[in-house]
């Protein structure tokens, strides 16, 4: 909104300094500062309101023997509402709202935030286990279908069926290759496998983000690192000079996403102010599902979805740890005919507890150390991800 106001002031009244709003770098910085400001100003009142008025306290399972579980049961949740607010308001203020990439990111934020909010609300107000998993997946699939179809058929989106292959020269992968076996004219159907891939990526990353949100500050810190990396990738992809220098695909208008991503970084860093150990508030599924969806859709829009296993390595290993643990335990139960309700012995499990961060807690590692090490790994993965722009 402010972009259009200052554009009018610059062109109509020739107001000194108004032209600075034409620069994505300035608006991105302003977006991040505004997002941080919103978080720091609204954080305390929101926490107090959620705790005293709404009674939205997190139902931490104290019987699992995790560090500080009893204390955490008195911590308010649904802090994702704060995160989403601090993302949306700066984006509306500083981004070009006629940009299809920005509109898709806003829609993603609102949609996944709504799915997560419904889950949190059912948990806290109706004494239920929350939104059934199949409905969460349905929400993710609907988003994937919508995003994939818009990308394929919207006229303002450049080369929708192409993406970047990391570590490879001439590194453009065309999804139409997946249907080339069908013969002449098959490229018209390339949107089908592309949309399916988009659905898979959004579902996988959103759920992995949700799994990572298990101890104070871990999901927030990792998300801030990932968001900052995506901001860099969006800016260079949308800058014709940098794209030419790095020999990557130039994507007109995609640089505007830097305004959104810096708001995302500001929101997650601001939330970390209250979510670091000992946490004063948890983000809940409102935040964790939305964060995963945002990262997935953002990477897809800038044609960097194949970098997600590297950039989001923390999410990947957390997801794999749950899959490995669940599969191994089911196999053990079948082999030894364990009756329902009898747990698999700890020494027979691949991990003491899944997801992976809880495994290290069970081994006696302090919660703060687990979080710090995971964030350090996320930073290293981010550096390698950015390095792929030249390492080919």
The pair of structure tokens assigned to 199 is: 């659905």
Structure confidence by residue, pLDDT tens digits, 205-247: 999 999 999 899 999 999 999 999 999 999 999 999 998 888 8
pTM of the model: 0.92
Q: What does the buried/exposed string (b/e) look like for 34-54 if buried means 16 or more CB atoms within 10 Å of the residue's CB? A: bbbebbeebbeebbeebbeee
Sign of the alpha-carbon torsion through 262, 268, 271, 276: negative
Distance separating alpha carbons of residues 253 and 300, to the nearest angstrom: 15
- Tokens 């749950």 belong to residue: 322
Nearest to 263 by CA among 298, 301, 214: 298
- Where along the chain do its domains lie? 31-308
Q: E strands within 192-256?
A: none
Contacts (Cβ under 8 Å, ≥6 apart) of 59? 73, 123, 124
The pair of structure tokens assigned to 52 is: 């005293």
Distance separating alpha carbons of residues 262 and 274, to the nearest angstrom: 19
Distance separating alpha carbons of residues 325 and 351, to the nearest angstrom: 7
pLDDT in tens, the chain (392 residues): 787 777 777 777 777 777 787 889 999 999 999 999 999 999 999 999 888 765 566 665 555 666 656 566 678 888 999 999 999 999 999 999 999 999 999 999 999 999 999 999 888 777 667 888 899 999 999 999 999 999 999 999 988 898 988 887 777 888 988 888 887 777 888 999 999 999 999 999 999 999 999 899 999 999 999 999 999 999 999 999 998 888 888 899 999 999 999 999 999 999 999 999 889 999 999 999 999 999 999 999 999 999 999 999 999 999 999 999 999 999 998 888 888 888 889 888 999 998 999 999 999 999 999 999 999 999 999 999 999 888 87
| DSSP 8-state class, residue 53 | I
Distance separating alpha carbons of residues 307 and 294, to the nearest angstrom: 15
């Amino acid at each position: 909104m402010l972009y259009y106001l200052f554009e009018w002031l610059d062109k109509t009244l020739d107001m000194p300094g108004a032209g600075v709003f034409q620069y994505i770098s300035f608006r991105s910085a302003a977006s991040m500062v505004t997002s941080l400001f919103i978080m720091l100003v609204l954080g305390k009142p929101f926490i107090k309101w959620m705790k005293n008025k709404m009674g939205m306290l997190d139902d931490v399972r104290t019987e699992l023997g995790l560090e500080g579980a009893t204390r955490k049961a008195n911590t308010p949740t649904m802090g994702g509402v704060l995160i989403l607010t601090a993302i949306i308001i700066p984006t509306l203020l500083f981004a070009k709202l006629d940009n299809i990439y920005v509109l898709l990111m806003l829609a993603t934020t609102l949609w996944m935030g709504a799915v997560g909010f419904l889950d949190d609300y059912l948990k806290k107000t109706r004494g239920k286990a929350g939104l059934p998993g199949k409905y969460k997946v349905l929400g993710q699939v609907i988003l994937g279908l919508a995003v994939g179809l818009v990308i394929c058929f919207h006229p303002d989106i450049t080369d929708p069926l192409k993406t970047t292959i990391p570590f490879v020269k001439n590194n453009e992968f065309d999804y139409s290759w997946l249907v080339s076996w069908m013969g002449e004219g098959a490229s018209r159907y390339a949107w089908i496998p592309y949309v399916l891939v988009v659905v898979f990526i959004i579902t996988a990353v959103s759920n992995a983000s949700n799994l990572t949100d298990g101890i104070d500050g871990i999901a927030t810190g990792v998300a801030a690192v990932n968001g900052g990396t995506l901001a860099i990738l969006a800016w260079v992809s949308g800058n014709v000079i940098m794209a030419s220098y790095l020999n990557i695909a130039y994507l007109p208008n995609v640089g505007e996403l830097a305004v959104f991503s810096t708001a995302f970084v500001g929101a997650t860093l601001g939330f970390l102010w209250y979510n670091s150990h000992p946490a004063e508030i948890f983000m809940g599924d409102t935040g964790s599902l939305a964060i995963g969806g945002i990262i997935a859709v953002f990477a897809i829009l800038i044609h960097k979805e194949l970098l997600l296993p590297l950039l989001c390595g923390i999410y990947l290993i957390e997801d794999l740890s749950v899959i490995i643990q669940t599969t191994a335990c089911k196999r053990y139960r079948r082999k030894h005919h364990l009756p329902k309700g009898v747990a698999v012995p700890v020494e027979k499990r691949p991990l003491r507890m899944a997801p992976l961060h809880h495994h290290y807690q069970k081994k006696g590692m302090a919660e703060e150390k687990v979080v710090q090490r995971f964030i350090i790994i996320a930073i290293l993965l981010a550096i390698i991800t950015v390095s792929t722009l030249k390492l080919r």
